Amino acid sequence: MLKKMKLQKTSKGTQSIEERIQHIQKQELPKHIAIIMDGNGRWAKKRGLPRVAGHHEGMQKVKPITRLANKLGIEVLTLYAFSTENWIRPKMEVDYLMKLPQEFLSAFLPELIEENVKVEMMGHKDKLPVHTMKAVQKAMDDTCNNSGLILNFALNYGGRDEIVNAVQNILQDAKNGQISTEDLTEETISHYLMSKNLQDPDLLIRTSGEIRLSNFMLWQLAYTEFVFTDVLWPDFSEEDLLEAIEEYQRRSRRYGGIQSEGKEQ
């Protein structure tokens, strides 16, 4: 049974964030962190605000989390921004969500460029409004030569849809004689996914208390460590990210094997 981890901001006593960062960096870091940013609506409801206020606050939270991930030396940060199922939400809310990338990137892009962060996106671009895709494409173009943290937005993305799309492309290439289905491997399928240029996530964090994947990176999360927290995304702090990474570092990743004498897996 999957359990939620309560993030304990006081668990490190009087240790400063800088001291925790230094300690974390001495141990094995997750190279790829994926986050399901959940709880914006509930955050707003608790304060008597419209849901869009929660989405705006959640967007602002991306900045400090990205800065810290980059500072730690994380290689990839994937954020689940908008799913293929989110289109069924009220039109006013969807329209607002589609404006957020433009607002966010226009303000944050200069810093991303300066800090050597590379912006990428996975998801179907064709259904996104022109102004949304234009903002995202500009950010990708302007940071394409950066070599630091990859800030990867999952936008109009769904895990099952991704797998179906991969299978369709594999069948088409097999029909055209480009690949042989007899030689089909896990690596082949991974190559046809939207994340083909990224390694699979080492750590998945989901905020807001929900314990499910919500159709997110279903193939890629096969051996990922999960951390579920009750903290709503707009309240998710740098300390919460550090605690999640510390929890990851306390675990033993065995990939289906067994641990022997605390060393071999």
List pLDDT tens digits, range 171-215.
999 999 999 988 899 999 999 999 999 999 999 999 999 999 999
What tokens were used for 156? Answer: 């109009």
Is 47 annotated among the ligand-binding residues? no
Q: Is residue 118 scored above 90 in pLDDT?
A: yes
pLDDT in tens, 223-241: 999 999 999 999 999 999 9
Residue 38 annotated as catalytic: yes
pLDDT at 13: 56
Of 41, 32, 67, which is closest to residue 238 (Cα–Cα)?
67
Is 75 annotated among the ligand-binding residues? no
Q: Domain coordinates of the chain in residue numbers?
A: 29-158+200-250
Given its phi and psi angles, is residue 123 left (phi above 0), alpha (psi -120 to 50 degrees) or beta?
Answer: left
Q: Can you tell me the distance from the alpha carbon of 245 to that of 242, in angstroms, rounded to the nearest whole number?
A: 5
Average pLDDT, integer, range 236-265: 79
pTM of the model: 0.91
The DSSP string of 181-246 is GGG--HHHHHHTSTTTTSPPPSEEEE-TT--S-TTSSTTTTTT-EEEE-SS-GGG--HHHHHHHHH
The residue from 70, 86, 146, 152 that is catalytic is: 86
Can you tell me which residue has the tokens 């179907």?
124
Under CATH, which number does the domain 29-158+200-250 receive?
3.40.1180.10
Q: Is residue 265 scored above 60 in pLDDT?
A: no
Q: Is residue 257 scored above 80 in pLDDT?
A: no
Residue 197 annotated as catalytic: no
pLDDT at 8: 46
Q: How many helices (H) and strands (E) does the chain have?
A: 8, 6
Of 216, 188, 214, which is closest to residue 201 (Cα–Cα)?
216
pLDDT at 12: 55
Comparing 14-23, 84-93, 193-202, 205-214, which segment has the lowest mean pLDDT? Answer: 14-23
pLDDT at 10: 42
Q: Can you tell me the distance from the alpha carbon of 131 to that of 99, in angstroms, rounded to the nearest whole number?
A: 8
| CA R_g for the chain | 19
